[in-house]
Amino acid sequence: MTTYRNFISGKWVESTSTRTAANVNPANTDDVLGTVRQATRDEARAAVEAAANAFRDWRATPAPTRGRIVAKAARLLEENKEEVAQLLTREEGKTIAESRGELQRSINVAEFCAGEARRLNGETIPSELPLNFAYTIKQPIGVVACVTPWNFPVAIPIWKIAPALVAGNTVVFKPASITPATAVRITEIFEAAGIPAGVLNLVLGSGSEAGDEIINHPAVKAISFTGSNGVGIRLYEQASRRGAKVQCEMGGKNPVIVLEDADMDLAVESTAQGAFGSSGQRCTATSRAVVVNEVADEFVQRLAKRAQSMRLGAGADPQTEMGPSVDENQFKTVLSYIDVGREDGATLVCGGERASVDGLDKGYFVHPTVFDHVTPDMRIAREEIFGPVLSVLRVRDFDHAMEVANDCEYGLSSSIFTNDAARIFRFVDEIETGMTHINSPTTGGEAHVPFGGIKGTGIGDREQGSTALDFYTDLKVVYVDYTGRKREGNLY
Ligand code: NAP
Ligand code: MG
């Protein structure tokens, strides 16, 4: 049985902790992948210190050289794509097609970031004064902590670690406790790509202990966090109090709007994909369908039919359309929200219970669930469930749909189904989300396009795309005066 190790200062080291946890396949809890020892506070501190010691040399390494290591990691990810995808499915439960997609996204992001290493350009700015100019340079910050969730345990670490390294920072990587195996593989890939000792460190431990130690360590100058709002906001409070830079990508409650002229086949299939893909465990998952009355009966009926036809099973089976919830906690959370929906008076159309037939009884499977006649004040319309549960909210017309869609503390993703250009552009203008999709699911994104949310979802710079390096660099402004004389203008 594998016992996962921490990677500190270029060495794989066994934790001395006596607190252990089993890494379990959520599709079949008899299948145990390995054991994690939860890193102690001392071990977390050692990782931060290793990163701090490695910073000087890494900062002095030319950016294109740093980029070549990230490019090598991209090639190694590609070579090991199938093996890592299989591991991801076994550890997290998503279907093998979804895992392969996540691996490809990770490869694309790493390639993109490697290219950015040759574009760490600043600006040259003409001056108000004669014989003067100014320019900007982008510089690394220092030790960066990457704190990541379990739902994209390969892609999210890569989209934080790759830009952090390219920018010249050293990294302490604290993955989610329940997905240690993929975190180890990612780190091994960077090791094989030639990352110098101490530049990337891995700490496998609980958020409340190892995580807490890392984010409060004074040598950690920036923290990139993806996860839940509860944890993210607390982390932001703590770290910002000591002046650390913080980026938080948090929860979502993503709406799809379906208008009367929508292509119904497309709207139903895309909503099912968005709501039930990855078992509803994407931050961009569709969790509210805001549908105009005129087509609501048809939409709900067809969506329920699609939900009931979904093939549940182990992700490793290529026939499977939807895998399990990731663990017992998440499974119980989903089932308890289903109870809340019922108690609050929503109409349960389909699903609503655990799936335990056909060998699914050893996994955390919940049938795809649709609630109709959900009202905006109900908890299932407001809170992130992170499971295969869709709430349908019926509305009078487009204006009412916009009002309901925007009545939400989160602002990650959204989509609309209509063929009316005027309403599409009003929707794009007025919808309060950081990303939006036209006639396609709320999920999905591309490696070279910025990613992130507004309102309660996002704090700080956007990840990926043209803005990927912003968070990981400090901007320095340089004024150059070649008059050789005492300054006479510009005296403020
Ligand atoms: P989580 O419980 O908030 O955990 C996220 C990470 O923070 C984990 O590594 C966790 O460690 C760590 N952590 C917990 N408490 C901490 C503390 N006190 N100090 C430092 N670190 C701490 O989130 P999750 O359940 O893993 O992921 C699901 C959430 O992520 C959902 O809300 C989803 O919407 C969000 N998400 C957002 C995006 C986006 O881009 N907006 C993308 C993906 C996911 P442990 O695992 O040990 O608790
Ligand atoms: Mg697991």
Residue 192: pLDDT over 90 = yes
CA of 118 to the centre of ligand 1 (A): 32
CB 88 within 8 Å of CB 99: yes
In short, whether 211's Cβ falls inside 6 Å of ligand 1 is: yes
Q: Catalytic site residue 283?
A: yes
Q: Tell whether 486 is covered by a domain.
A: no
Average of pLDDT values for 449-461?
Answer: 97
491 within some domain? no
Judgement on whether residues 262 and 358 belong to the same structural domain of the protein: yes
Can you give the pLDDT at residue 492? 67
364 and 318 within one domain: yes
Ligand index nearest the alpha carbon of residue 207:
1
Residues 177 and 277 in one domain: no
pLDDT digits (tens, 9 = 90+) for 104-161: 999 999 999 999 999 999 999 999 999 999 999 999 999 999 999 999 999 999 999 9
CA of 197 to the centre of ligand 1 (A): 27
pLDDT band at 357 (very low <50, low <70, confident <90, very high): confident
**pLDDT tens-digit series, residues 72-87:** 999 999 999 999 999 9
Q: Which atom of ligand 1 is nearest the CA belonging to 458?
A: 41
Closest protein CA for atom 40 of ligand 1? 249
State CA 81 to chain mean position distance: 20
Band of pLDDT at residue 359, cut at 50, 70 and 90: confident
Identify the nearest ligand to the CA of 325 by its number: 2
Q: Decide if 492 is inside a domain.
A: no
358 and 293 within one domain: yes
Torsion of CA 292, 298, 300, 301, to 10 degrees: 170
Query: Is the pLDDT score of 491 beyond 70?
Result: no
> Does 277 share its domain with 377?
yes
Please tell me the distance between residue 97's alpha carbon and the centre of ligand 2 in angstroms: 18
Asked if residue 444 is part of any domain, the answer here is no
CATH of the domain at 167: 3.40.605.10
**Co-location of 424 and 314 in the same domain:** yes
Pairing of strands 20-24, 347-350: unpaired
d(CA 482, CA 423): 56
Nearest ligand 1 atom to alpha carbon 205: 47
Question: Ligand 1 within 6 A of 50 CB?
Answer: no
Position 358 confidence tier, pLDDT thresholds 50, 70, 90: confident
Among 146, 248, 283, 408, the active-site one is 283
Q: Does residue 467 share a domain with residue 353? A: no
- The range of the structural domain enclosing residue 420 comes to 254-438
pLDDT at res. 487: 84
Ligand 1: nearest atom to the Cα of 234: 18
Query: How much distance in Å is there from the Cα of 33 to the middle of ligand 2?
Result: 8
Task: Compute, in angstroms, the gap from residue 25 CA to the centroid of ligand 2.
Answer: 5
Instruction: Please state the pTM of the whole predicted model.
Output: 0.97
Starting from the CA of residue 464, give the closest ligand: 1
Q: Phi then psi for 110, rounded to 5 degrees? A: -65, -40
What confidence tens digit (pLDDT) does each residue in 221-269 have?
999 999 999 999 999 999 999 999 999 999 999 999 999 999 999 999 9
Task: Out of 249, 350, 384, 463, pick the active-site residue.
Answer: 249
**462 shares a domain with 411:** no
Indicate the average pLDDT of the chain. Answer: 97
* Strand pairing category for 124-126 and 132-140: antiparallel
Task: Indicate whether 89 belongs to any domain.
Answer: yes
Kindly report, residue by residue over 377-431, the tens digit of the pLDDT. 999 999 999 999 999 999 999 999 999 999 999 999 999 999 999 999 999 999 9
Residues 410 and 462 in one domain: no
226 close to ligand 1 (CB < 6 Angstrom): yes
Separation between Cα atoms, residue 275 and residue 378, nearest integer Å? 18
Tell me if 443 is assigned to some domain: no
Does 427 fall in a domain? Answer: yes
What is the 8-class DSSP label of residue 28?
-
Q: Are residues 243 and 260 in the same domain?
A: no
Q: Is residue 451 part of a domain?
A: no
Which of 228, 236, 459 for a ligand 1 pocket mutation test, highest count of atoms within 8 Å of Cβ? Answer: 228
193 and 290 both lie in a single domain: no
Identify the CATH number of the domain in which residue 406 sits: 3.40.309.10
Alpha-carbon torsion, ordered 386, 388, 389, 391, to 10 deg: 90
Counting the structural domains of the chain, the total is: 2
Q: Hey, which residues does 143 pair with through a beta bridge? A: 170, 220
Whether residue 285 has pLDDT greater than 90: yes
Compute the distance between CA of residue 153 and CA of residue 463 in angstroms, rounded to an integer.
Answer: 16
Cβ atoms 324, 363 nearer than 8 A: yes
- 273 with 413, same domain: the answer is yes
Task: Report d(CA 238, CA 200) in Å as an integer.
Answer: 24
249 labelled catalytic: yes
